[in-house]
Amino acid sequence: MRKLFITDLDHTFLNSNQTVTPFSREVWNRKAKEVKLSIATARSFTKTEYFFKGLELNAPLILLDGAMVVTPQKEIIDIKTLDKMVVDIVINIGREFKIEPFIIALENYKELKESFIMPPIMNYYQDRLIKSSYSKDTRLIYKKKIEGEDNTLKIVYMGEESILRPLSLKIKEILKDEIEVKLSPEKYMGCYFLTLLHPLGDKANALKIVSSYLNIPLINTTVFGDSLNDIKMFKIAGTSVAVSNALDEVKREANIILPHSNNEDGVAKYLLKL
C-alpha cells in the first residue's frame, strides 16, 4: 500500500531555531526510501529549499499555505493567484485600520522566484521580521505605495490581535467567498498573522491535488501540524497528527496528539516507529 506523509514546517518539523536537527534529518532521509514524504507550509519555495537542503523530497510540495503546489524539480502542478482588484480592495480596507501588508507575488514562473513587497510604513513586528530574517533577501522590493500585483499569491498582515481581528471580519464582510481569510497567533514574533489567499488556495485543496497527482487516496495520507492553517487539512486526511506544542484548536481535530514537541523531534519520532 502506497502512503503519503506531509508535514507542516514552522513549529512542527522545524525546531524553534528554525532548523532541522541531525536526528530528524537522518530519520527523514531513511523513511524517504520507503514512503512518499513532503511538506505543507506557509513558506515559499526559496525558503523551503533552504531549510531542506540535504533532505530528500519525493512528492509535490504544498507552499504558501496552499497557493502553490510544485514538484521538487520546480514544476508547477497548481497555482492559485488573487485577482488584482481583490488585492486592491484588501489594501484599502487595511488602510482604514492604519495598517499595510506584505504582498507576495510570483515574479518568475520558470525559476519560481517570488517578489516580497514591503509597504512604505511598517509596524514594529513587520520591521522586526525584515531585519531579523529578510534583510539580505534578494526578493525584497520596496514601493512608495503598494497595490495589487499580477500573480499575487498571498497578502500577509502582521500586528496586534486587537487590530487584525476586526480587520479580518471587515474583509470577510466585504469580499465574502472571493478570498480565504486566516487569522492566527505567531509564536516566533509574539503577534498575529492575517493571511489572505485565493478561496481555493489552502492546504486542504492542495492536499487533494497532491493526492490525485500521486494516485494515493486521502485515506492513505498522514499529515502533521500545529496551527490553524492545518485544520482543514486535518479534516480530510486519513490520519492527522498534532505535535504536543500545537494549538488546542488543532489538537481537537487531530487523530493523534504526539507526546513530543517540534523541539523534541516529534514528527521524526513518529516516523521512526512506523
| Whether pLDDT at 69 is above 90 | yes
pLDDT in tens, 95-145: 999 999 999 999 888 788 889 999 999 999 999 999 988 878 888 898 899
Arithmetic mean of pLDDT over the chain: 94
Domain with CATH 3.30.1240.10 in the chain: 84-197
Q: How far is residue 39 from each of residues 95, 158, 187, measured CA to CA in Å?
A: 34, 24, 20
- How much is the pLDDT for 274? 86
Please state, in angstroms and rounded to a whole number, the distance separating the CA atoms of residues 153 and 179: 12
Lowest mean pLDDT among 9-13, 76-80, 114-118, 253-257: 114-118
**CATH topology classification for 23-78+201-222:** Rossmann fold (3.40.50)
Q: What stretch of H or E contains 108?
A: strand 102-108
- Which residue is listed with cell 506557509? 42
pLDDT in tens, 3-32: 999 999 999 999 999 999 999 999 999 999
Residues 6+ apart with CB under 8 A from 93: 167, 170, 171, 174
Report residue 263's pLDDT band, with 50, 70 and 90 as the boundaries. very high
- Residue 54 class from Cβ within 10 Å (0-12 exposed, 13-18 middle, 19+ buried)? exposed
The number of CA neighbours under 13 Å toward the Cβ of 75 is: 7
**CATH topology classification for 84-197:** 3.30.1240
pLDDT in tens, 162-210: 999 999 999 999 999 999 999 999 877 899 999 999 999 999 999 999 9
- How much is the pLDDT for 189? 85
Adjacency order of strands within the sheet including 36-39: 36-39, 4-7, 221-225, 239-242, 256-257
- List beta partners, residue 258: none
- List beta partners, residue 102: 156
What's the pTM value of the predicted model, to 2 decimals?
A: 0.92
- How much is the pLDDT for 133? 80
